[in-house]
Structure 1
Amino acid sequence: MCLGIPGEIVEILPDQPDLAKVDVSGVRRAINIGLITDDEPRPGDWILIHVGFALSKIDEAEAKATLDFLEGVGQAYADEMEALRESGIE
């Protein structure tokens, strides 16, 4: 199962403006934010991430509720977090 996971943008990479450093439950990765064109992502924004791409911006309350739910799902969430830890966009 593939999940969309909330993450908080920590910084937009200055040399690659389509990439942002994003914190997902303590794991930081470069995520492609180029698909979000209607409302420019900024540090502090929450985004929904799937396979290394930000799909949409979400508010912090929705992000927290989604993370709580995903942690309750168990193994699917653990698998997705492991995949995130092992991934990397350069």
Structure 2
Amino acid sequence: MCLGIPGEVIEIVGGQPDLALVEVSGVRRAVNIALLEDDGIAPGDWILIHVGFALSKIDEEEARAAMEFLEGLGQAYEDEITALRDSGDD
């Protein structure tokens, strides 16, 4: 199962305006934000992420509700976080 997960933008990667450092459940990864160019993404914003791409900008309340739902899925959510954490390993 593939999930869209909410993450908080920590910073826009210098010299690469299509990338943002995003935190999801304590895991930080670079995420492609090019699809949201018109939304004016900035640190502190919340975005919905799927396979390394930001799909939409969401508010903090929506992000919190989505996280509660995802955490309720149990193993599927844990698998997604593990995949996110492992994606930084080369």
The normalised TM-score by structure 2 is 0.95
Residue 18 of structure 1 is matched in structure 2 by 18
Quote the offset at 1:67 in angstroms: 0.3
Bigger share in helix: 2
Divergent runs of 4+, >4 A: none
Unmatched segments (≥5 aa) in structure 1: none
Quote the offset at 1:29 in angstroms: 0.3
| Identity rate, percent | 73
Quote the offset at 1:37 in angstroms: 2.6
Residue 86 of structure 2 is matched in structure 1 by 86
**Separation of aligned partners in 1, 2:51 and 2:37:** 18
**Separation of aligned partners in 2, 1:34 and 1:87:** 19
**Separation of aligned partners in 1, 2:64 and 2:38:** 23
Q: CA RMSD in A?
A: 0.7
**Separation of aligned partners in 2, 1:4 and 1:33:** 14
